[in-house]
Structure formats: C-alpha cells, structure tokens
Amino acid sequence: MIPVDSLSVALLQTGFVDGLLDFLQPDVLAGVVVRGLAKSAIYIMIAAGLTLIFGLLGVLNFAHGALTMIGAYLGGLVMVLTVANGTGPWTRLALFFVAMTVVFGLLAALGGSIELSLIRPLYDRPPIYQILLTFGLTLVLEELVRIVVQFYGLQPIAKWQQALGTIPVFLETTQSLGPLSVRGLVFFEILLGALSVAGIWGFLTRTRYGLFIRAGSEDSEMAEALGIDVRRVFTVVFALGAGIAGIAGTLLMWDQVWGASVPLAADTLLPAFVVVIIGGLGTFRGTVVGGLVVGLVDATTTWWFQNVVVTWTWLPEVAIFLILVVALIVRPQGIYGVEEVGGH
C-alpha cells in the first residue's frame, strides 16, 4: 500500500500537529476563510440559475455551463472593446457593471428563446429527455463558440488574456485588511456574490413575480388553477437563470483561476451540479448553504494539501467531488431537499 505509506511519511515529516497549529493561526485561518468565501460566492453564482430552473421547471439544465462560458466571452468582449490602456480603474469598474447588464440581457434573451423553442415541447416527456436535450445543446453551443473564437484568432482552450487584462489595478494587486493580505478581486467576488444572493432572495420573496415562481415550484397545477400563466413564468425563469449564468461568467472572465475559455463550460457545470445537489435540488436556500459548505471545505482542503500533506497533489482537485459523494451518502436528498424531488 504505497499511498498510505507516503501519507504517513508526509505526516511525520511536516507533522500533523504543526500543521494544525499553523492552520489555526489567525492570519492563516482568516485567509482560508476569506478565500473560501470568495470560492463560495463563485459557486453560488454559477449554481443559482441552475437551481432556480430546476426548482420550477424540473429541468436539470446541462447547458448551464455553456451559458456561463458564453457570458464570460460576451462580458470579455464588452470590456475589451470599451477599455483602453489609459482607462482608469474606477471607469473600468463602472464598465464592468455595464458589461454585466448587457450580458444579463443577451443571455436572458438566449435562455428565453431556448425555453420557447426547444424545452417547451418536452414537458410532457420523462425528465431524462430534458437532460438529453440540454446536453446536446451544450455540444452545439460550445462548438459554435469555438468556431467564432477561432475565427477571430483566439485560442479556444487558453484563457482570454486580453479580457483578463481589463481588470482594474486595485482588484489585480494584493490588498491588506487587518492581518489579511489577499488579491482585491477576492473581496470583490465576495461582495458581488452577496449582492447577487440578496438580489435573488429579494426578488423571490418580495416581488409579485417571485411569489408566482415560488407558487409554481410548490405546485404548478395549483398555481395554474389560481390563474397564474405558469408557462410564461417558466420562460421568464429560464431566461433569468441564463442571465444569472451570464453574470457569473462575466465575473469569472476577470479571475485568473477561471478566465474566459471554452473548457470553462465543463469546469463550471460540474461544481454547479455539486453545489445544487448538496444543497438539495431546487431550493435556493439550499444552494446558498451548499455553496458556502463547498467553498469553505474546498479552500480548507486546498490549504492542507498544499502546506501539510504535499504528496497527494491531486486531492484538492477532487475535494469537491469527494464532498459530493460523502454528502449524498450521508444525506441523499441534500441539506434542504425534500425526498421526492428528483425522484425516479
């Protein structure tokens, strides 16, 4: 058993207790928590649209990752077209919000038309067909983007450096806050994530349309009987979900770890699934909590396996899937899930 041996050796070398003491130092711990929160914010943002759509329509949208990826490219496009070398950091930040709005609108339109033309004919079929359709859609969207991107001379696999370069200086560089020193973008991600959660939460609980959505999720037939045009709500929610994916994509376009590229589709789809499943399919509250859990555990394991147990370099990459497997074994229906949801 080679792995166990090397693990114990590694533990002896660095010392588990030493590692724990290091980990519990305030600045280290705070760093891990803040990075974890930033990861959580990203995970929640890429999963929020998915969970809204599943909650109401019962469609597990496999094209969600592709929509996020398109959002990243579109957001990058707006930034690259508007930002010049001399553009000041605050103007860049303002332009980012412009890009976010534009991308939200474009992707909402795309999502709405997808729902109208492709998903709508499938509601009467078994749920597996909606999975299949959106899976096929992913192939088409990814390949179309690849063609367009290649046409303009960009590498579809590599991150779009020019878009990464439009980030304002104060987000790019390391910022200090008390004992902490992390990249400014980390704080920005947390802020934007919190704003998105608050926005969606407010929309769902404080507006009339949010009420329709919640009613439809609870019992769409009953909602229809009460005079709500559920079909139209379906379209609106699909558009909204796609739009939120676009916002997430626009944010990821600035992040060194992600960046706008074609593989971003699969890279965001899988974590989004994990978050949504852990939280319980279709509950927005579950997604927020699930995202927090996954983000914090992810940041913690990454720190541990980078600093203490250095032999298993592959573990941080699978941490998120290990969380999924463990969570499903312990609590199959997710944190806030109801047994029947996603049932057979």
Partner 1 sequence: MAISSATELRQRLETSWPVESIQRQQVYLVVIALLAAYPAVYHLLSQSPLANETVALLPRMETMVGVLYFALFAMSFDFISGYTGYLSFGHAAFYGTGAYTVLLIANGKVPLLPPETPFVATLLIGAVLATVLAVVIGLVSFRLTGVYFAMITLGFTQVMYVFVRDWDYVGSNPRDGIALSGARGFELGVPYVDQLTVALGTLTGDTLTLFGHTLGTTTVSFYAIGVVVLLCYLGMQRIVHSPFGRVMVAIRENEERAEAIGYDTFRYKLGAFAISGFFGGVAGGLLAGFKRSVTPETGFYFLTGGDALLASIIGGFGTLAGPLWGHLFDEVIREFLSKQGQGGGLLPYLREALSEGVLTTELVGGLTVEGFITAALNGHASLYVGVVFVLFVLYVPDGLVGTVRDRLGGPVARRLPERLWGER
Residue 83 or 269 having the CB closest to partner 1: 269
Residue 125 or 177 having the CB closest to partner 1: 125
Residue 139 or 194 having the CB closest to partner 1: 139
For residue 116, the minimal CB distance to partner 1 (Å) is 13
Do you know the residue count of the chain? 344
Look at residues 20, 265, 236, 57 and name the one whose alpha carbon lies nearest to residue 141. Answer: 265
By CB atoms closer than 10 A (0-12, 13-18, 19+), residue 265 is buried
Residue 79 or 294 having the CB closest to partner 1: 294
Interface residues toward partner 1, by CB under 8 A? 2, 60, 118, 121-122, 125, 127-129, 131-133, 135-140, 142-144, 146-147, 150-151, 266, 270, 273-274, 277, 281, 313-314, 317-318, 321-322, 324-325, 328-329, 332-333, 342-344
For residue 73, the minimal CB distance to partner 1 (Å) is 16
CA distance 81 to 103: 14
CB 252 within 8 A of CB 42: yes
For residue 125, the minimal CB distance to partner 1 (Å) is 7
Half-sphere exposure at residue 216, Cβ-oriented, CA atoms within 13 angstroms: 26
Cross-strand pairs, 174? 183
Residue 127 or 210 having the CB closest to partner 1: 127
For residue 144, the minimal CB distance to partner 1 (Å) is 6
Residue 100 or 269 having the CB closest to partner 1: 269
CA distance 253 to 37: 18
CA distance 263 to 246: 16
For residue 329, the minimal CB distance to partner 1 (Å) is 6
For residue 278, the minimal CB distance to partner 1 (Å) is 10
For residue 89, the minimal CB distance to partner 1 (Å) is 36
**Contacts of 262 by beta carbon, 8 Å cutoff, 6+ apart:** 69, 142, 145, 146, 149, 156, 157
CB 239 within 8 A of CB 105: no
Residue 15 or 136 having the CB closest to partner 1: 136
